[in-house]
């Protein structure tokens, strides 16, 4: 589906976002490069703390205190975002690039009706008479398949089911007709029903629009059902990327292989998703070589000393498949 020359909407190059803390410089995002094509759903996977959310927040330029993007480029449809002013960024967030959170509770205000909240989102994007905004709010509820939208628009969040609230949040996220939608799945386990409704909603949004979606998750099963392409993150870097089919059928990086072998647990709060011993290195004291080497079952001396180059593999589906490992493909690195 996504081949080389397809329309790129977002190009991220060598992005580095560091957190300046008492402990030292936490290299949360440390040289991340990727492209997102129009209409594509790109998954980002990797265990907790690998830098997935920080990568997403860097795109929006919404960083926690102490956080700073120290270098790189984030190009949205030909425009560099990293040099934009805060007021210019406010024109972009929620309009051209928007974020959807899985937990509707944290996105909706309990004291206002969903209609008021939708109308406010619409008004910020483009001021219009109240009546017109209300009509558009109803249209948006209809577009995300909320039944009886004329009535539901006057509901308070507590009068709606979890799934319906999710749809409202989805409606707000796409109300500005964004080019890019970032969906960041939380680590904490949510109700399975809510989760499947969320997936359904995202799939509907994906089908109805030509949106490009960045989907952040821990769960390879979700990647398989949602994404066209996937990037695997480890310790602030992308260690492998390719089409979902390639990553599942022909993983090259030992970390990706471990991810594939991992068994999702019922309680996703526990980090027993990974069948690999040990933990990632501290982000303020990274090894010079491969960051996975200390845990890697096939590590060689070289892996400890030198960070591996990115190897391009020949994928049968023609989608770029790359892995940063000395052992990837048949490449001879001498």
Residues that bind ligand ATP (CB under 6 A): 19, 21, 26, 28, 46, 48-54, 64, 187, 218, 283
Look up tokens 């990086």; give the residue: 253
Q: How many residues bind Mg ion (CB under 5 A)?
A: 2
CB within 8 A of 93, min separation 6: which ones? 60, 62, 99
* Distance of closest approach, residue 248 Cβ to ligand ATP, in angstroms: 20
Binding-site partner at residue 217 among ligand ATP, Mg ion, none, CB < 5 to 8 Å by type: none
Which residues on adjacent β-strands are paired with residue 134? none
* Distance of closest approach, residue 141 Cβ to ligand ATP, in angstroms: 30
Assign 273 to helix, strand or coil: coil
| CA torsion angle 71 76 80 86 (round to 10) | -90
Site membership for Mg ion, residue 50 (CB under 5 A)? no
Choices 51-59, 64-72, 235-243, 317-325; region in contact with Mg ion by CB under 5 A: 51-59
8 A C-beta contact, residue 10 and residue 74: yes
Structure tokens given for 222: 């979700």
Which residue lies nearest Mg ion, judged by its C-beta? Answer: 53
Binding-site partner at residue 28 among ligand ATP, Mg ion, none, CB < 5 to 8 Å by type: ligand ATP
Helix H, strand E, coil C: the string for 207-237 is HHCCCEEEEECCCHHHHHHHCCEEEEEECCE
8 A C-beta contact, residue 291 and residue 217: no
CA distance 194 to 161: 10
Binding-site partner at residue 26 among Mg ion, ligand ATP, none, CB < 5 to 8 Å by type: ligand ATP
* Distance of closest approach, residue 67 Cβ to ligand ATP, in angstroms: 7
**Pick from 2, 17, 53, 243: which binds Mg ion (CB under 5 A)?**
53
Binding-site partner at residue 19 among Mg ion, ligand ATP, none, CB < 5 to 8 Å by type: ligand ATP
Q: Between 122 and 239, name the residue whose CB sits nearer to ligand ATP.
A: 239
Contact footprint for Mg ion (CB under 5 A)? 52-53
């Amino acid at each position: 589906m996504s081949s080389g020359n397809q329309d790129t909407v977002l190009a991220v190059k060598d992005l580095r976002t560091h957190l300046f803390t008492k402990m030292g410089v936490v290299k949360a995002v440390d040289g991340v490069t990727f492209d997102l094509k129009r209409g594509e759903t790109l998954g980002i996977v990797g265990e907790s703390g690998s830098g997935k959310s920080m990568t997403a927040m860097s795109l929006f330029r919404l960083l926690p205190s102490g956080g700073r993007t120290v270098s790189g480029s984030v190009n949205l449809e030909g425009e560099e975002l990293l040099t934009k002013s805060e007021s210019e960024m406010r024109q972009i967030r929620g309009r051209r690039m928007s974020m959807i959170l899985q937990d509707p509770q944290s996105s909706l205000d309990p004291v206002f009706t969903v209609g008021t909240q939708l109308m406010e989102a619409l008004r910020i994007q483009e001021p219009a008479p109240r009546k017109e905004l209300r009509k558009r709010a109803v249209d948006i509820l209809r577009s995300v398949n909320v039944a009886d939208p004329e009535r539901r628009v006057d509901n308070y969040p507590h009068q709606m089911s979890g799934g319906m609230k999710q749809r409202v949040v989805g409606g707000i996220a796409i109300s500005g007709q964004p080019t890019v939608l970032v969906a960041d799945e939380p680590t904490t386990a949510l109700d399975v029903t809510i989760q499947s409704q969320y997936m359904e909603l995202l799939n509907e949004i994906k089908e109805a629009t030509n949106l490009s979606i960045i989907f952040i998750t821990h769960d390879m099963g979700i990647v398989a059902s949602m994404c066209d392409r996937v990037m695997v993150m480890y310790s602030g870097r992308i260690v492998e990327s390719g089409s979902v089919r390639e990553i599942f059928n022909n993983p090259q990086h030992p970390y990706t292989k471990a991810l594939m072998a991992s068994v999702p647990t019922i309680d996703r709060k526990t980090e027993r998703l990974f069948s690999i011993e040990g933990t990632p290195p501290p982000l303020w004291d990274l090894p010079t070589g491969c960051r996975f080497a200390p845990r890697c079952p096939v590590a060689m001396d070289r892996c400890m000393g030198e960070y591996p180059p990115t190897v391009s593999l020949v994928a049968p589906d023609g989608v770029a498949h790359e892995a940063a490992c000395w052992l990837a493909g048949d490449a001879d690195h001498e």
